[in-house]
Amino acid sequence: MSGHSTYEPKTGIERWLDARLPIIRFAKDTAIDFPTPKNLNYWYTFGGILAVCLVIQILTGVILAMHYVPNGDMAFNSVEQIMRDVNYGWLIRYVHANGASMFFLAVYIHIARGLYYGSYKAPREVLWILGCIIYLLMMATAFMGYVLPWGQMSFAGAVVITSLFSAFDQVIPGLGTAITTWLWGGFAVGGATLNRFFSLHYLLPFVIAGVVGLHIWALHVPGNNNPIGVDVKSKADTVPFHPYYTVKDGFAISAFMILFAWFVFFAPEALGHVDNQVPANPLVTPAHIVPEWYFLPFYAILRSVPQKLFGVLAMFGSIGMLFALPWLDTSKVRSMRYRPTAKIFLILFVLATIGLGWCGGKEPADMVITLGRDANNDPTGFPVLWLSRILAIYYYAFFLVILPLLGLFEKPLAVPTTISTPVLPQGGAAIPAGAVAAPEKKG
């Protein structure tokens, strides 16, 4: 797809370097000339936004690590000292903390875009799976990062999530206990756990950066998918990446930064939890343990299953579904723009996931609809637990039943033959430059 290189070294030193390490050629071919479908909409800007998020997290994280102390007695106060006594430490820390949320917001939109436009289908399965791996690594990194301030919610979160592995005691007695002891570096979450989480939290972002490199490589082999899901047929279907998408991505990144900055400067703790401003204390358990917002749907799935081991498996399986997706969706049509039935099920899937997130933030015994009160004056009715069960079943059914069957029975709409067809009545070939068919669609 990248075609033959148009790079011509102009100077002696460029020719010398090009014969030895053609890095300028590589940059020009992949970041400047790269032919990109001309119909990518704003949903396609989130890849660039995510790259910026990763760079921001690594830069702010490296600076925070210069001041942070990964010690159970000092971690909490060292974070506060960063906010108080390090020059612009408050800014660096708020950018890093809110950056995690912004990163997940962008990645969820990026994933939803991939689902809607069928970006996981052949020949992009490896690209999609690399993305799923990045997402898993992000979750591990974010979880360990949230532990580092060593507040009450950090501690409780570390206990709850690492203790999930003790469910494997139900497979082989002692196995789960051995895993948790190994993870904790002791018999409970403590200073040793904090120190290793810090080490891994510093390591994993660089692993993510490496997989992102593979992700972009795997993108550049088949080239971008696009909103109509039809392969690029001719040069008329594409524009060079630069300046067309550098400026479009640039605008989207800048607009995203407005939202980012609003959280950093005007609501820096809106996405956090007040309990995490209390230093970790193993003897006091917070009344209401909730993970960060971006984990809530999976937390709800975990709690919706009464049996511990199956709850853990259901939670990890819900992400496993994403890995299997390229082979679960049997439809030959990529874009859901031409799959009206699948579109409705996908919208329901997104709503179900958001609903699971809402359930994850509530207690399972809370009522969605209160019908009355029992003898203890506790409300009775339709509890969060049952709503999360219904939504979790739909979550799984979407992958395991709906997508496999829909591809066989659904009648898709007529798909355009080329990318240029939907905008240019004659298919884009015979139109003189400048005579735009639909000027209102410009820009």
Partner 1 sequence: MSMLRKSAPFRAAAIGLGLLTLVAGGSTAVAATSQAPLKEVPGGFSFESPLGKFDQASLQRGYKVYAEVCSSCHSMTLMSYRNLCQPGGPFYTEKFKNPNDSPYCKAIAADIKVPDLDPDTGDAIQRPATAADHFRSPFPNDIAAAASNGGKAPPDLSVMARAREGGPQYIYSILTGYVTPPKGLTVPAGKSYNPYFPGDLGAQWAGSKATVPQGGIIGMPFQLTPGRVTFDDGTKSTTEQQAKDVATFLAWTAEPKQEERKEAGLAVMIYLILFSGILYLSYRRIWRDVAH
Name residues contacting partner 1, limited to 60-119 (CB under 8 A): 72-73, 77, 80-81, 83-84, 90-91, 94
Stretch that binds partner 1, among 2-10, 123-131, 208-216, 260-268 (CB under 8 A): 260-268
Question: Does residue 262 interact with partner 1 by CB under 8 A?
Answer: yes
For residue 365, the minimal CB distance to partner 1 (Å) is 5
Q: How many residues bind partner 1 (CB under 8 A)?
A: 86
Query: What are the b/e assignments for 412-431, b being 16+ CB within 10 Å?
Result: beebbebbbbbbbeebbeeb
Question: Does residue 433 interact with partner 1 by CB under 8 A?
Answer: yes
Distance between CA 88 and CA 66 in Å, rounded?
14
**Region 402-421 residues binding partner 1, contact defined as CB under 8 A:** 420
Q: Contact with partner 1 (CB under 8 A): which of 174, 306, 372, 432?
A: 306
Distance between CA 9 and CA 186 in Å, rounded?
59
Q: Contact with partner 1 (CB under 8 A): which of 49, 107, 302, 356?
A: 302
Stretch that binds partner 1, among 160-168, 210-218, 326-334, 346-354 (CB under 8 A): 160-168
For residue 347, the minimal CB distance to partner 1 (Å) is 25
Of the candidates 174, 178, 146, 170, the one whose C-alpha atom is nearest the C-alpha of residue 160 is 146
Stretch that binds partner 1, among 48-56, 60-68, 204-212, 306-314 (CB under 8 A): 306-314
Q: Contact with partner 1 (CB under 8 A): which of 199, 234, 285, 417?
A: 285
Q: Which helix (H) or strand (E) holds 380?
A: strand 379-383
Residue 265's φ and ψ, nearest 5 degrees, are -95, -25
Distance between CA 105 and CA 371 in Å, rounded?
35
Which residue's CB is nearer to partner 1, number 407 or number 416? 416
**Region 163-182 residues binding partner 1, contact defined as CB under 8 A:** 163-164, 166-167
Which residue's CB is nearer to partner 1, number 88 or number 327? 88
For residue 112, the minimal CB distance to partner 1 (Å) is 22
Q: Which residues make Cβ contacts (< 8 Å) with residue 223, sequence separation at least 6? A: 1, 2, 35, 36, 37, 232
Stretch that binds partner 1, among 101-109, 155-163, 198-206, 330-338 (CB under 8 A): 155-163
Which residue's CB is nearer to partner 1, number 125 or number 363? 363
For residue 193, the minimal CB distance to partner 1 (Å) is 11
Q: Contact with partner 1 (CB under 8 A): which of 185, 308, 400, 416?
A: 308
CA atoms within 13 A on the CB side of 73: 0
- 3-state SS, 285-297, equals CCCCCCCCHHHHH
Which residue's CB is nearer to partner 1, number 12 or number 174? 174
Which residue's CB is nearer to partner 1, number 9 or number 317? 317
**Region 187-226 residues binding partner 1, contact defined as CB under 8 A:** 187-190
Stretch that binds partner 1, among 10-18, 196-204, 301-309, 346-354 (CB under 8 A): 301-309
Of the candidates 41, 224, 239, the one whose C-alpha atom is nearest the C-alpha of residue 118 is 224
Which residue's CB is nearer to partner 1, number 131 or number 291? 291
For residue 216, the minimal CB distance to partner 1 (Å) is 22
Q: Which helix (H) or strand (E) holds 37?
A: strand 35-37
Which residue's CB is nearer to partner 1, number 91 or number 133? 91
**Region 4-63 residues binding partner 1, contact defined as CB under 8 A:** 38-39
Q: Beta-carbon neighbour count of residue 292 at 10 Å?
A: 21
What would the two tokens of residue 435 be?
């005579």
**Region 359-398 residues binding partner 1, contact defined as CB under 8 A:** 363-365, 373, 375-378, 383, 385
Distance between CA 198 and CA 190 in Å, rounded?
13
Q: Beta-carbon neighbour count of residue 375 at 10 Å?
A: 5
Cβ proximity of 238 and 37 under 8 Å: yes
Cβ proximity of 381 and 371 under 8 Å: yes
What would the two tokens of residue 344 be?
């409705």
Residue position matching structure tokens 């506060």: 80
Q: Which helix (H) or strand (E) holds 114?
A: helix 89-116
Q: Which residues make Cβ contacts (< 8 Å) with residue 46, sequence separation at least 6? A: 106, 107, 109, 110, 113, 252
Which residue's CB is nearer to partner 1, number 50 or number 359? 359
Which residue's CB is nearer to partner 1, number 168 or number 345? 168
Question: Does residue 349 interact with partner 1 by CB under 8 A?
Answer: no
